[in-house]
Amino acid sequence: MILPVFAGYFILYYVVFKAVILKFDLKTPGRGDDGEEVKLYTKKDYKEKQTEKTVRTEVGGVEEDPLSRDIAAGLGGVDNVVNIACCATRLRLTLNDLNKVDEGILKSTGAVGVIKKGEGIQVIYGPQVSVIKSNFEEYVDRLRK
């Protein structure tokens, strides 16, 4: 009797969830409205991206961190950043001008999402955000000196 009950629940859940998702236009993976094409990465692409994030080079007397450089570019430059903080999963920033923010660049740095609120912005990176924050703070401090 368990197989017919399982099949019945499967059909019931499928119909109900599909109807709710379509009726309320709920965002599910692959149904984002950002218009970006989803790109599938190979293992080689992933490894290259990881090594690029960890490689630091000396540029103009400042140790260059590619991830921090890209985050700064996505935020409209280092001069646009007023305050840097983080919580468990989000990089919280206060900016001078929210119009300079480029969400596409921020998402290319590994951000899951970007939330604009008042004069601040929250960039969602996940549990590794504390490392990203400390590297970004060092990067910003070095450029401002």
> Residue 13: what residue type?
Y
pLDDT tens for 53-76 read: 555 555 555 556 788 889 999 999
**How much of the chain, in percent, has pLDDT values that exceed 70?**
86
Q: Are strands 62-64 and 81-86 parallel, antiparallel or unpaired?
A: unpaired
How many angstroms separate the CA atoms of 48 and 142, rounded? 26
Write the burial class of residue 75 (CB in 10 Å: 0-12 exposed, 13-18 middle, 19+ buried): buried
| Residue 92 half-sphere exposure toward CB, CA atoms < 13 A | 7
More confident residue, 26 or 51: 26
In this structure, are strands 57-59 and 120-124 parallel, antiparallel, or unpaired? unpaired
DSSP H helical segments within the chain, as ranges? 2-24, 43-54, 66-74, 103-108, 129-144
Catalytic residue among 87, 112, 115, 131: 87
Could you confirm whether 87 is annotated as catalytic? yes
Average pLDDT, the chain: 85
Reading the block at residue 51, the tokens are 């090594």
Give residue 40's pLDDT: 78
Q: How far apart are CA 50 and CA 109, in angstroms?
A: 11
Half-sphere exposure for 107 (CA within 13 Å, toward CB) = 12
What would the two tokens of residue 85 be? 């903080």
